[in-house]
Amino acid sequence: MSLSPADFFTDYTLRSIVLGSALLGLVAGTLGCFSVLRRQSLIGDTVAHAALPGLCAAFLLTGTRDTLGLLVGGGLSGLLASLLALGILRYSRLKEDVALGVTFSTFFGIGIALLTAIGQSGNAAQAGLEGFLFGQAAALTAGDVARFAVLGALALGTVAALHKELQLSLFDPDYAAVQGWPVAGLTALSTALTVLAVMLGLQTVGVVLMAAMLIAPAVAARQWTRSLGGMLRLAGGFGALSGGLGAALSLALSPEGGAGLPTGAVTVLTATALAVLSLLLAPGRGVIAGWGRQRQARARLRRELAGGRR
């Protein structure tokens, strides 16, 4: 496909894909900050895998591959898994990664069992379930974009309204609890919003790559700012940029008549590139800036030492 930049504004399908991916990146990037700061970065991976039994159950119940039904089923089991992980964290001394790992492998195992059962019943529509594992951005329609916009606005609106409450319960949960804030509820809320973002993205970029859309923009943003508000906004921006740019690149670079570059993969690589660049180049926190400061300081101190000796 040879595309000119103008095509992205005029072509209906292209516009949907690019806009949808950008919106997705915006929502996932913003919400990812919470999981990264909570040391639960891989919650996206967990939720995405844990959605499988719900997807299968919804499919078994409805018998059709109705996207909305599947998403609701998957979302519910993803939410259940992440709340269970929070419960394990609260009621045992196990750490974040273990809580996520346990729920994730159990739910995914059950999902595989269900998937096999569906496979044995020989239902033709079964193949469609696998689309969720790898994602199909090319299938994004204007309807999807509208849905992303509405749900995304809901999620981001909640974050904006409860910014101060979420910040406090994230930074110092004990202090927040003494002040009377419902820390468990606030944590569950931000987790539920993350699940929502993951479910939105599942269809588009797929299970594995969705994990990255929560993490990479947040990591990139953290390097440039020293306030949570700044981090949330920047991560949203980085997410939107990698979503939009990734989709546009994948469309523009796809060989003519070829299978096409998978949008999700290009998006993730874009987001990762942004994170790596930020880690290296950000002023202040960046690795290179750190080296520079260190070298200057050493040179100066050596000079002073030499001067003192004389």
Partner 1 sequence: MTLPFDLVIVGTAVMVAWACTLPGLFLVLRRQALLGDAISHAALPGIVAGYWLSGGSLASLPALVGASLSGLLTVGLSALIARSGRVKEDAALGLVFPALFAAGVIAVSLNYGNVHLDLDAVLYGEIAYTPFRPGWLGLPAAWVLVGGMGLVNALFVGGLFKELRLSTFDPGLARTLGFSPRLLSGALLTLVALTVVAAFEAVGAVLVVAFLVVPSATALLLTRRLGTALGLALGAGLSASVLGYVVALALDASITGVVAGVLGLQFVGALAAQGLRARRVRGRAAPQG
Partner 2 sequence: MTVTVPGTAPASLAGSAPPLALRGLSVAYAEAPAVWDVSFEVPAASLTAIIGPNGAGKSTLLKAALGLVPRLAGEALFFGAPLSRVRRRVAYVPQRTSVDWDFPASALDVVTMGLYGRLGWLRRPGRRERAQALACLERVGMADFAGRQISELSGGQQQRVFLARALAQEADLTFMDEPFAGVDAVTERTIVDVLHGLRGQGRSVVVVHHDLDTVREYFDRVALLNVSLVAAGPTGTAFSPAHLRAAYGERHGALAAALAGGPP
**Interaction of residue 124 with partner 1, rule CB under 8 A:** no
Look at the block and give the residue holding tokens 């039994």.
53
Q: Tell me how crowded residue 279 is: count the other CB atoms within 10 A of its CB.
A: 16
Does position 144 interact with partner 1 (CB under 8 A)? The reply is no
Which residue of 165, 184, 249, 272 would you call a contact of partner 2, by CB under 8 A? 165
Task: Enumerate long-range contacts of 58-62, CB under 8 Å, 24 or more apart.
Answer: 59/118, 59/125, 59/126, 59/129, 60/114, 60/117, 60/118
Task: Classify residue 209 as exposed, middle or buried by CB count within 10 Å of its CB (0-12, 13-18, 19+).
Answer: buried
Q: Helices 43-62 and 12-37: crossing angle, nearest 10°?
A: 120
Cβ-based neighbour number of residue 164 at 10 Å? 11
Neighbouring residues of 121: CB distance < 8 A, sequence distance ≥ 6: none
Please report whether residue 138 would count as binding partner 1 according to CB under 8 A: no
Stretch of residues binding partner 2 (CB under 8 A), selected from 101-109, 120-128, 150-158, 218-226:
218-226
Give the relative orientation of helices 163-171 and 183-205 as an angle to the nearest 10 degrees: 100
Of the pair 104, 148, the CB lying nearest partner 1 is at 104
Select from partner 2, partner 1, none the partner in contact with residue 287, using the beta carbon and a kind-dependent cut-off of 5 to 8 Å.
Answer: partner 1
Report the candidate in 188, 194, 146, 148 with the shortest Cα–Cα distance to residue 169.
Answer: 188
Q: Which two tokens stand for residue 137?
A: 């951005």
Q: Does 225 bind partner 2 (CB under 8 A)?
A: yes
3-state secondary structure of 261: coil
83 is a site residue for partner 1 (CB under 8 A):
no
Binding residues among 26-65 for partner 1 as defined by CB under 8 A: 36, 39-42, 44-45
Quote the least distance from Cβ 272 to partner 1, whole Å. 4
Q: Which stretch binds partner 2 (CB under 8 A): 74-82, 171-179, 191-199, 258-266?
A: 171-179
Contact status: 116 vs partner 1 (CB under 8 A): yes
Could you list the residues that contact partner 2 (CB under 8 A)? 37, 161-165, 167-168, 170-172, 174-175, 177-181, 222, 225-228, 230-231
Could you list the residues that contact partner 1 (CB under 8 A)? 36, 39-42, 44-45, 88, 91-92, 94-98, 100-102, 104-117, 120, 130, 134, 208-209, 211-212, 214-216, 218-219, 222-223, 255, 258-262, 264-266, 268-269, 272, 275, 279, 285, 287
